[in-house]
Amino acid sequence: MKFSISHQDKDTSARQGTLTTNHSDIQTPVFMPIGTQGAVKTIDPEVLAHLDTQIILGNTYHLYIRPGHELIHHAGGLHSFMNWDNSILTDSGGFQIFSLARLNKISDEGVEFQSHLDGSRHFFTPEISMDIQQHLGSDIIMAFDECPPAQADEKTVKFAVDRTTRWIKKCRAFLNENESLYDWNQILFPIVQGGIFPNLRKESACSLIPYADSGIAIGGLAVGEEKNAMFETIHLMDSLLPKDQPRYLMGVGRPTDLVKSVQNGIDMFDCVLPTRNARNGQLFTSKGIINIGNKIHKESFQKLDSDCGCYTCKHFSRSYLRHLFNIKEVLGLRLATIHNLTYYMTLMGTIRKNIKSESFSSWSNAYLSEMADHKGM
């Protein structure tokens, strides 16, 4: 895998680059839609490609639980299984184990847990996470890490930082000893932890950077901490992480979060917001968020967003979308998701365009000022 930076903003840490995997060239900064279980909910791969989706995210925990990584391997890997030609990143499953599954026991060896589906018992180690991701065949695989809750005290977070460091060594050793199961490269991203404690973030970054030769992630944010603390941490990471590798901010976020994070040198994002919120009738527009279920839209025959050229905005009114949600028609979920993903992909394209034209600083400040009056953006 190769990462090259073609444009660097003069006034911020924003940069525009290209991340090359064996499956695609990814223009950064980039947003990755969530395809947790091998599908972006309600959207097929052809539509994703039409929306200029360059890379999607799958999840090791969920795909291990069902349909199983060995079945996916027999299908030719996750790309083949879901008919997706571009790049795939898989999360290690650690976050889901700590947040979804019933956690029984954690040790330096790994985590014993019960499935959130049927209560069956399972055991994940760093090596098992790597093995599952090798079977899935994703282009970018994430290290197995411990993600402490947002309100954890410094001592607890320190334990998580130390364990994450021990686990990255096991992840790397496993990959060094076991060749890829496919004819393409799989790249490991370490995940920096440390909560909102600057000393622990520095310690984690220094410990993990030696294992980051193609990219590095920032984990443990957007889990309930104050927004100011989150951005202070992101700003700190900008000064600590390698400049010549892509930086991936996990689980963030809202449109203004993306813009602010790009200002601080972030290259890659994922978040459930555009797709999950779409299925709940919350739509991102150039004038703020529209809650399509509100009565005010009952007889509104205008498009969702006059500045949007997506399929939904071209063909359907707010009134019709509200009707679809009221009758619980799945088409409404699909049309809303198409719109929200279009908003996010267009936003990322605009970010890249302004970095290239050396106007990102002024554009981003204007965007953030405009969106400051719109709650939830």
Please confirm, yes or no, whether 183 is among the known catalytic residues: no
Active-site residue identified among 91, 131, 238, 257: 91
Radius of gyration of the chain (CA): 20
Active-site entry in 131, 139, 270, 305: 270
Give residues with Cβ within 8 angstroms of 319, minimum separation 6: 297, 298, 299, 300, 301
Separation between Cα atoms, residue 189 and residue 270, nearest integer Å: 15
Q: Are 347 and 258 in contact (CB under 8 A)?
A: yes
d(CA 369, CA 268): 23
118 is catalytic: no
Residue 35: is the preceding peptide bond cis (ω within 30°)? Answer: no
Alpha-carbon span 87 to 77, nearest angstrom: 12
Q: Are strands 87-91 and 102-106 parallel, antiparallel or unpaired?
A: unpaired
Q: DSSP readout, 2-15?
A: EEEEEEE-SSSS-E
Match 């990102």 to its residue by tokens: 360
Catalytic residues: 91, 270
